[in-house]
Amino acid sequence: MAPLSPSIDEAKNAASTLLWQVYHRRPRSRRAKSIAFSALTILLFLYMLLPSSRQPEPDFWTKFPSRHPFPERPEDAQVVLPQKSGISINKSLPHDLEKPNPYLHVLVHAPKTPFVPSQTRGVCRTLTSAMILGYPPPTLLGYGHENAHKTEFERMIDRITRVRNYLKNSKTINDHDFVLVVDALDVFFQLPPQILVERFQNILRTNNKKLQKKYGFAAVQNTLGGPVATVQKYSQRVLFGASKVCYTGLESDPGCVSVPESSLPPDVYGWKTDHYHDGHLNRPRWLNPGTVIGQAADLIMIYDEVLRLLHQQHKKNGDYQALTQMFGRQEVVRELERRRTASWPVEMFSNLLGIGYGTNISGISVRLETGHRYEYGIGVDYKSELFFNQIISKSDVEWLKYSNVTKSERLQMEMAVPRESRLLLPDDIAALPGPFNQTRFAKELTTHPEWNSTLDKLPNPSTHSWHTVPLMTNGHSATIPVLAHLNGDSKLRNTWWENMWFFPWARALLRRYVRSAHGFDAAQSALLGGQDWWDMRGGRGGIWTDDETWVPFSEICEGQERDLFDDDLGPWGKENSDPDEPVYNKFGNLIYGIEPEGVPEKG
- Residues of the domain holding 156: 74-88+100-592
Rounded to a whole number, what is the distance in angstroms from the first to the last CA of the chain?
125
Q: What is the pTM of this model?
A: 0.85
Q: Which residues pair with 544 in a beta bridge?
A: 139, 550
d(CA 62, CA 218): 10
In one-letter notation, the amino acid at residue 290 is G
Q: Kindly give the pairing relationship between strand 187-189 and strand 229-232.
A: unpaired
The overall average pLDDT reported for the chain is 83
Is there a domain that residue 26 lies in? no
Q: Is the pLDDT of residue 424 over 50?
A: yes
Q: Is residue 9 part of a domain?
A: no
Q: Which long-range contacts (CB under 8 A, 24 or more apart) does 341-348 make?
A: 341/216, 344/48, 345/45, 345/48, 345/49, 348/48
Beta strand ranges found along 110-250 (DSSP E): 139-141, 178-182, 187-189, 217-220, 229-232, 238-243
- Asked if residue 530 lies in contact with residue 78, where contact means CB atoms within 8 angstroms, the answer is no
pLDDT of residue 6: 47
Structural domain includes residue 13: no
Q: How far does Cα 444 stand from its chain's mean position?
A: 39
Q: Are 499 and 546 in contact (CB under 8 A)?
A: no
Is residue 229 situated within a structural domain?
A: yes
Burial of residue 440, with CB atoms counted within 10 A of its CB: 0-12 exposed, 13-18 middle, 19 or more buried: exposed
Q: Based on C-alpha coordinates, what's the Rg of the chain?
A: 30
Of residues 411 and 89, the one with the higher pLDDT is: 411
For residue 5, being part of any structural domain is answered with: no
Q: What is the pLDDT of residues 526-538, one digit of tens each?
A: 555 444 557 767 7
User: What backbone torsions phi and psi does residue 539 show, to the nearest 5 degrees?
Assistant: 90, 140
Number of domains in the chain: 1
Neighbour count for residue 350 (Cβ, 10 Å)? 15
Residue 82 covered by a domain: yes
Q: Helix crossing, 30-49 with 344-353: angle to 10°?
A: 140
DSSP 437-466: PPPTTTTT--SSSPP-TTTT----TTT--T
> Are 258 and 331 contacting, i.e. CB atoms less than 8 angstroms apart?
yes
β-bridge pairing 378-381 and 238-243 = parallel
DSSP 128-144: HHHHHTTPPPPEEETTT
In this structure, which amino acid lies at residue 267?
A: D
Contact residues for 282 (Cβ-Cβ < 8 A; gap 6+): 244, 245, 273, 274, 276
Ranges 12-21, 66-75, 99-108, 450-459: which has the least confidence: 12-21
Range 100-127 average pLDDT: 84
In this structure, the number of other CB atoms found within 10 A of the CB of residue 221 comes to: 10
Rounded to an integer, the average pLDDT of 130-144 is 92
Q: Is the pLDDT of residue 541 over 60?
A: yes
Residue range 443-467: average pLDDT? 81
Q: What is the Cα–Cα distance from 432 to 194, expressed in whole angstroms?
A: 9
CB 178 within 8 A of CB 79: yes
Higher per-residue pLDDT: 316 or 213: 213
22-36, 202-216, 305-319, 485-499 — which is least confidently predicted? 22-36
**What is the mean predicted confidence (pLDDT) over 34-39?**
68
